[in-house]
Amino acid sequence: MTVPTIALNDGNTIPQLGFGVFKVDPDETERIVTDALEVGYRHIDTAAIYGNEVGVGRAIEKSGIPRDELFITTKLWNSDQGTQSAFDAIDLSLEKLGLESVNLYLIHWPRPDLDRYLETWLALEQIKESGKAASIGVSNFHVEHLRKVIEGSSTVPAVDQIELHPAFAQHEIRDFAASKGIHVEAWGPLGQGKYDLFGMAPVAAAAAAHGVSPAQVVIRWHLQNGIIVFPKSNSRERMAQNFDVFGFELTADEVAAIDGLDQGLRVGSDPTTATF
């Protein structure tokens, strides 16, 4: 099964479907990522704050999969914003992952109260120049945060990873990102189980029509909207099901009906006020 790739604004490409390890127990990460790689995932999304980069690295090493067939993302945590601290943070992440470089390195949150994200972005430019990250981007950045880094640097972020699911479609950020050549990645693409997404009529109806699960419908909705998505699961069976989304296609009417579920329902933290 071939996962489609998306061309980033820096000339690199990214698999549109990947596997996330947010809240995956560090002691279980090696096993879970090994399962994901065996299922067929080649795009793994982790972060320093997740505490499981070591497990991701061990799974990669033991997999025997050539490095150039893998796309690995990690993220710089808020307490490491700044110039030297960003340099130290990428080195520590690479050491834990057992890699010489990552495919994508992100600023995890803007933390506008600290007002260090532009300085940190300039450090990421140097990290990219050093070869320690092939592409650089941001996470949880709103339009005003994106504007600041674009106007204050010579690099447009390759991606913006944001909370995005049918009830929280983030059209303002998506539209601005598209206008600047920034691709959007979805975290919490299935709503993190915090509302009855799978019971909503358009999702349930599409699942019944195509003989697939509601989760497969929602992942397919992301893909057909051009969004990069990486659901997570500790279950190999569920991982395989989430990966099996290329044998059907939602109709235009089904996509439009799911688009209509948007109600501005944020289930995570607001980047403009988050201070963790």
Integer-rounded Cα Rg, in Å, for the chain is 18
Q: Pick the catalytic residue from 50, 105, 117, 195.
A: 50
Other CB atoms within 10 Å distance of the CB of residue 44 = 24
Spell out a b/e string for 149-164, using b for 16 or more CB atoms within 10 Å of the CB, else e.
bbeeeebbbbbbbbbb
**In 159-250, at which residue ranges do the beta strands (DSSP E only) sit?**
159-163, 183-187, 228-229
Alpha-carbon gap, residue 107 to 4, rounded angstroms:
25
Q: Is 117:145 a contact under the CB 8 Å cutoff?
A: yes
Q: Taking the CA of residue 2 as centre, how many other CA atoms within 13 Å lie in the half-sphere pointing to its CB?
A: 3
- Note the maximum CA span of the chain: 54
Strands 19-20 and 43-45, sheet pairing:
parallel
Q: CA–CA separation, 181 vs 218, rounded Å?
A: 24
Residue whose entry in the numeric block shows the structure tokens 């999702």: 203
Q: Which residue has the tokens 């650089």?
A: 136
Euclidean distance between CA atoms 93 and 78, whole angstroms: 14
Helix (H, G, I), strand (E, B) or coil at 123: helix
Whether 105 is a known active-site residue: answer no
Nearest-angstrom CA–CA distance, 266 and 52: 26
**Mind telling me the catalytic residues?**
50
